[in-house]
Every structure is written in C-alpha cells, then in structure tokens.
Structure 1
Amino acid sequence: MNFEKLDVWKRSLILSSSLYKAFAGHNDFGFRDQITRSGLLIPSNITEGMERDTSPDKARFLTMAKASCAELRTQLLIAKDIGYLNQHDAQNWIAESYEISRMLAGLIKRVKP
C-alpha cells in the first residue's frame, strides 16, 4: 500500500504544515518545538510504518502516529488555554486530530495479521 495515496497521510501532512505555519514566528521556542514535533510525527510515522515489510511493524508505527495525535491534542488544548491559539483554530485542529486518529485506528485494524 503506497502511503502517499492514503487519505490519512494526506490529512496529517496538511495538519502538520498548518501547525508549522501557525507557530513559525512564535517566541516560546520550547512549546513551538514540541507542538510542531508532535504534528510532524504523525505523517512521518505513517510513512515509516507503511514502508515496513511486516504487518506487526506497520501496526507499531501506525500506533505511534495515533499516539502522536493524542499528544498533539493535549498541546492544542494547552495552547488554547494559555492564549497561543484562538478558539476557532484550536477546535478545528483538535477535531482534525480526532478524525486522523479514527482513520489510523481503522488502518491499524487492516494491517494487523
């Protein structure tokens, strides 16, 4: 299965790019690094998983991508609470991370032996 054809990969790539753009000029370097890293790990782990040869390896990396979605949601909630993100952007990205997580859960079921 070609990862570049997966809707979940495409959506996670857009989410990651959006986060980088939104936080590009942010002065809280630690927070910026952590939230963009969480977003970056989602499509990166999908890619790595889908390029693995065995089903257990695929599932392991897809599970890591799913876990990064949860980590990202936590950081988005914090960003909203401390005023780094407005309500609209935070809610949209949180909703998208939930949808990506659901899509990953389905893909994990498909690749597991």
Structure 2
Amino acid sequence: MATFSFENIIAWQKAHQFVLRVYLITKQFPKDELFGLTSQFRRAAVSIEANIAEGYKKLGKADKLRFLNIAQGSLEECRDYIILSRDLQYIDEEQFQALRDGIEETSRLLNGYCNGILNNNGIADLDQNLRPNY
C-alpha cells in the first residue's frame, strides 16, 4: 500500500520548487532589504506550501478550503513581490520570468486542487464522513 502525504500533491510540489527559487533569488537582494522585501517575500512563499500541507490533513471540505484559500492569498502576495522586485531592479528579466512562470503554474495547480475539493472528488464533507482523507 502506497503512503500518501501532502508531498504527493502536485500543487505542493510546484509551490515547494517556487519557494526554493525565491530563496535562491532573494539571496542577491540588497542587505538593507533583509528585514523588508526579502523577509516578506520568503514568508509569503513558504506560506503557500505550508498551507497546502496543513490543509491536506483537515477532515472537512470547508476546513481544507480555508487553508487552501490562505495559500491562494499568499500566492497573490508573491505575485506582487515579483513585480516589485523587478521594478526595484533587484531581479533581471530572466529571473522575473522564471518567478512569474513558477507562480503561474503553482496558481493553476492550486486552483485545480481547490476545484477538485469543491466538486467533491474524493473528499467528503466532515458532516458526511468523519474518517480522515488519506
């Protein structure tokens, strides 16, 4: 029997790749941004994957979707930080495009995951079924 965890969720995998890219790119940001944009960007990126992971073990549809909606909010925050980083000239066009592509793919997959839950694809409402969804 295969073991399933949040790591099997493709949206989480893409979010994790995005976080790694954010950390790599923000290492080159000006040192005076360490407690500003660098910290905020990293925190928001980590929040995407962390909320997908946390939502995975929630029993009810509404609870799962609440965490995934938080992930979506953090994703949009990162989308803003990507634009801001470009406009402040902290990243070049190639880095901008790599971050933009990563956030777009993560967004598409996260939205698909949310839609799957909304459409009850393998997820039972807590009121209907009290078993964890593994």
Unaligned runs of 5+ residues in structure 2 are 121-134
Amino acid across the alignment from 1:56: A
Q: How far apart, CA to CA, are the structure 1 residues paired with 2:39 and 2:17?
A: 18
Size of the aligned set, in residue pairs, is 113
- Which structure has the highest helix share of the two? 1
**In structure 1, distance between residues paired with 2:28 and 2:104:** 26
- Secondary structure in 2 aligned to 1:52? coil
CA distance in 1, matches of 2:44, 2:17: 13
- How far the C-alpha of 1:25 sits from its partner, in A, is 5.0
Aligned to 1:105: 111
CA gap of 1:96–1:79, structure 2 versus 1, over 3 A, is same
Say if 2:12 and 2:52, in contact at 8 Å, map to a contact too. yes
Equivalent in the alignment of 1:69: 75
Gaps of 5+ in 1: none
- 1:1-113 mapped onto 2 (5 Å cutoff): 2-24=5-27, 26=29, 27=31, 28-29=33-34, 30-112=36-118, 113=120
What is the alpha-carbon distance in structure 1 between the residues aligned to residue 52 and residue 115 of structure 2? 14
Q: In structure 2, give the amino acid aligned to 1:105.
A: N
Q: Supply the distance in 1 between the matched residues of 2:71 and 2:40 (Cα, whole angstroms).
A: 15
Deviation at 1:74, TM superposition (A): 0.5
Matched to 1:36, the amino acid is R
Q: Is the 8 A contact 1:46 1:62 kept in 2?
A: yes
Task: Using the aligned pairs only, state the percent identity.
Answer: 26
TM-score normalized by the length of structure 2:
0.78
Structure with larger RCO (C-alpha < 8 A, sep 6+):
2
- Paired with 1:84 and 1:56, the residues of 2 have a C-alpha distance of 39
C-alpha separation in 1, matches of 2:95 and 2:42: 15
Distance in 2 between the 1:67 and 1:97 partners?
12
Give the Cα–Cα distance (whole angstroms) in 2 for the partners of residues 5 and 95 of structure 1.
21
- Letter of the 2:9 partner, please give it: L
Superposed displacement of residue 42, structure 1: 0.7
Structure with max Cα Rg:
2
